[in-house]
Chains A and B, each alone.
Chain A
Amino acid sequence: MENIIEASGLRKSFGPTQALDGLDLVVRRGEVHGFLGPNGAGKSTTIRVLLGLLKADGGSATLFGGDPWKDAVTLHKRLAYVPGDVTLWPSLTGGEVIDLLARLRGGGDKGKRDELIQRFELDPRKKGRTYSKGNRQKVALVAALASDAELLILDEPTSGLDPLMESVFQDCINAERQNGRTVLLSSHILAEAEALCDRVSIIRAGKTVETGTLAELRHLTRTSISADLASPPDGLATMPGVHDFVVEGSRVKFQVDTAVLDETLRHLASLGVRGLTSQPPTLEELFLRHYQSEGAQS
């Protein structure tokens, strides 16, 4: 079986709020899949549907080929989950919570548990009430990473981690990828997504607006060009794929879709280039375009 998670046309509403509005998501075996989108886009809702905590109103979802609602318990033996908001039991220590979750999943690796506790510099003897936000998150992360689950579902797992811990986290995820584990990673940290993810899905208002590998997505981004030209920039402004065209004396500034970069540069060269700077496409821009409501349509 190739796809670990398959969802198509998922719909879910909470009263008047349409949280999911025909969402599609495919996560392949062995990949780290980034799940991105602005606040309230429906990431956590999707994850809860996949975990069988919410019942979708429409569409279909399969997890390991099974029904996430009906086969919840059997499917859960094969996955580990870190919630977006980690709340712990005030009277239980972090170590107890880690062990409890491992046992409820059906066993875990003691050696790995202790190693992870050390790597994340977590004190397992503190009571749930007394952990800081980042440390609460670490408790859930250690519990998930120490498991031998095939699939890790992580809902913004690093939103409270310091940069040092963030890099430990990235090392761990890369190691899990080596071990052939599949990861669904929802995140707001684009650098993290760039560093870790093989493929990403971007969702907005409950719909998937873009999905693909990072290279494919880069293709959708625009390169910023600033050039000093020998002759007037005839025809440049109207070329397909050229945006935000500005002329300042002999200088021109514009953005160009990465897909038509080659033709544009050739036309530019024909105008006589005296100086040229170009800024490589960043995912940041792509995300911003998609995150902004109008930007995605244009």
Chain B
Amino acid sequence: MTALAGTGQLLRLALRRDRFILPLWAILLALFPASVAGSFKALYPDPVELAKFAKSMIASPSITGFYGPIFAPNLGSLSAWRSGILVIIAALAVSLTVIRHTRNEEEQGRRELLGATVVGRPAQLVAALLLAFGTSAVIGVLAALGLASAAPGAGAWAFGLEYAVICAFFGAVAGLAAQLTQSARTARWIVGAALGGSFLLRAAGDANGDENSVLSWISPIGFAQRIRPYAGERWWIGGVLLLIAVAFGLWAYKLAGSRDIDAGLVAPRPGPPRAGRSLSSPLGLAWRLQRGGLIGWLIGFAVISGVLGSAATTASDALKDSPELAEMFQRLGGATALGDLFMVTLISITAIAAAAQGIQAAVRARTEETTGRLEPILATAVGRTRWNAGYVLFALGGPVLSMLVVGLVGGLSYGGSSGDVSGQLPRILGAALVSLPAIWLTVAIVLALFGLAPRLVAAGWVLLAAFLLLGQLGAVLQLSQWALDLSPFTHTPHLPGGAMTWTPLIWLSLLSVALGALGFAGFRRRDVG
């Protein structure tokens, strides 16, 4: 077993490095389903009312498209269903952890340092996968115990299994992605695409209103959901997905044991011996470094809005079939039409993603600094503000492009499938753009951190996760208004369908400008490096 030499040590190292952050998010994510269940219990104490609510949700294909199917009108099934978004976040967290401990370590040259000690070639991967599988298991068990306290039964354990196998599966995918590409960034893109793709497949499948759509079955997320917690559990599905995860892990293990250090699937090719004309300013450099990412984001946004925008209209059909439901939804969401409600959800989720895009650009500025690549740039005739402006432009302007894409593609597909392009396109485009101030404020907080407290820049991700949870679960968890108000996204008018209010938008924009200016000023004054 020389290949595995040192695995235990590396696992301990990883646990030590993550000793605060890992338990924090694992416990938070694991405990949320229980609080969701608690809130449902408080909202609908009468099982009949609860079943009525569940039925109305089941009857709405666009809602099931977004969150997945509700397999049975009971408390447990409903809670498992509503926690679906959390499972995706948990899977993302687990897979990013795997990449951080594998390809990122390698890219930073630390694997070389360790590889020269008594450590097997694939040991780092194995340690990272053990960490991922172990964390997944812990999340699963905690989630099951938590949910069982609110909704007892085998279903709780089935939900825990669903949670754990999805996390483990994407952890294994991340382990494989880390073997295929030279850069950790590309590996993260692969994982993001895999997660996004599985979500879209499942969404497209479930939006048909057909519980057994092929699209959902071939999506790893959809597949795992068909364990059917609290609705006639199919335990074997968990076993199958776990086997697939292990197979992916073994595949990665084989690659890790046979490939060269620092190598990916594709050997690097030589490039131009001279710089092109565009590479002659800080902005040109920022464009060169970030254009790939920007295009990736825009494609992602186009696909998501295209697929989900056309799914939204099935909702409107369901609405026509049942006026009783329509009335219920108006009470629930305040939107004039079910399709609009769906578009509101779509836009609010893409707005969070666009904020992630902005934060990524802002964090990238910090990475340039910590890796020492900023130093030679600032030693030339480039001022700090000029350099910083390039990244701020991407951080704030990138999301503008993205929301334009969401508005245009979403409006076209929503309008196209409802036969009213000229009517819907401006509505959806407007709705997408209205979310920009909240996005800007989120990103501007990170920009301010970069200028004033650069070590804390990564906290921007925690902030974004908090905003996402507040938006997705705040209402379900019946948090008080002041807590909800902490998220800038709470203040975005619920368009299309809701009332347009300018005041919060102006405030959010002004605050963003102030924070951005603080960031600029702070960066001019502080030490670099």
Contact = CB atoms under 8 A, between A and B. Distances in A.
Nearest to B379: A81
Given A53-B375, A99-B279, A91 B380 contact: no
A101 B270 contact: no
Interface stretch (A125-133, A211-219, A287-295): A125-133
A86 B379 CA distance: 13
A28 B381 CA distance: 22
Contact of A125 (B273, B279, B373, B375): B273
A137 B182 CA distance: 22
Contacts of B285: 89, 100
B268 A130 contact: yes
A96 B275 contact: yes
A203 interface: no
Contacts of B378: 51-53, 72, 76
Interface stretch (A34-42, A103-111, A181-189, A239-247): A103-111
B529 A85 contact: no
Interface in A122-167: 123-127, 129-130, 140, 143, 153
B268 A79 contact: no
Interface string B347-377: 0000000000000000000000001110111
A6 B106 CA distance: 42
B118 interface: no
Contacts of B380: 76, 101, 104-106
A106 to B, nearest CB: 5
A91 B291 CA distance: 12
A54 B529 CA distance: 8
Contacts of A98: 275
B270 A87 contact: no
A127 B282 CA distance: 19
Nearest to A51: B379
Nearest to A103: B280
A95 interface: yes
**Which residue among A95, A98, A106 has the maximum number of chain B CB atoms within 10 Å of its CB?**
A95
Contact of A100 (B183, B271, B279): B279
B381 A77 contact: yes
B214 interface: no
B13 to A, nearest CB: 24
Contacts, number: 123
Contacts of A73: 381-383
B428 to A, nearest CB: 36
B274 interface: yes
A98 B376 CA distance: 11
B281 interface: yes
B289 interface: yes
Contacts of B275: 95-100, 103
B117 to A, nearest CB: 20
A209 B273 CA distance: 45
Contact of A105 (B268, B279, B372, B381): B381
A123 B271 CA distance: 10
B286 to A, nearest CB: 11
What class of interface size applies to chain A in its complex with B? Answer: 35 or more
A155 to B, nearest CB: 10
Given A83-B375, A83-B376, A106-B381, A90 B183 contact: yes
Interface string B87-130: 00000000000000000000100000000000000000000000
Contacts of A201: none
Interface in B165-187: 182-183
B61 to A, nearest CB: 43
Given A81-B376, A83-B376, A91 B381 contact: no
A156 B117 CA distance: 28
B46 interface: no
B527 interface: yes
Contacts of B274: 95-96, 99, 124
A221 interface: no
B272 interface: yes
Interface string A66-80: 000000111011011
Contacts of B182: 90, 129
B218 interface: no
A126 B377 CA distance: 20
A53 B527 contact: yes
**Which residue among B271, B376, B383 has the maximum number of chain A CB atoms within 10 Å of its CB?**
B376
A104 B384 CA distance: 13
A286 interface: no
B288 A92 contact: yes
A88 interface: yes
Given A95-B275, A99-B279, A54 B528 contact: yes
A83 B528 CA distance: 14
A104 B273 contact: no
A124 B273 contact: yes
A29 interface: no
A88 B373 contact: yes
A253 interface: no
A104 B528 contact: no
Interface string B373-414: 101111111111000000000000000000000000000000
Contacts of B270: 93, 123, 125-127
Contact of A87 (B288, B289, B371): B371
Contacts of B281: 103-104
Nearest to B368: A89
B246 to A, nearest CB: 32
A198 B502 CA distance: 68
Nearest to B527: A54
B282 A104 contact: yes
A52 B374 CA distance: 13
Contacts of B379: 51, 53, 76, 79-81, 83, 153
Contacts of B288: 91-92
A41 to B, nearest CB: 17
A143 B274 CA distance: 12
Interface string B248-288: 00000000000000100000101111111001111011001
A251 interface: no
Given A76-B380, A101-B376, A105-B381, A96 B371 contact: no
B271 A93 contact: yes
A106 B380 CA distance: 8
20 contacts: A48-B375, A54-B529, A55-B526, A55-B527, A76-B382, A80-B379, A83-B375, A87-B373, A90-B107, A91-B288, A93-B270, A95-B274, A100-B279, A103-B275, A104-B377, A106-B381, A127-B270, A129-B182, A129-B268, A153-B379
In the A-B complex, the 7 residue pairs with the closest CB atoms: A99-B275, A81-B379, A125-B270, A104-B380, A93-B271, A103-B280, A95-B273
Interface of A: 48, 51-55, 72-74, 76-77, 79-81, 83, 85-93, 95-101, 103-106, 123-127, 129-130, 140, 143, 153
Given A54-B528, A124-B274, 15 more contacts: A48-B528, A53-B375, A53-B529, A54-B529, A76-B378, A83-B379, A93-B273, A95-B271, A97-B275, A99-B279, A100-B284, A101-B377, A125-B273, A127-B271, A130-B268
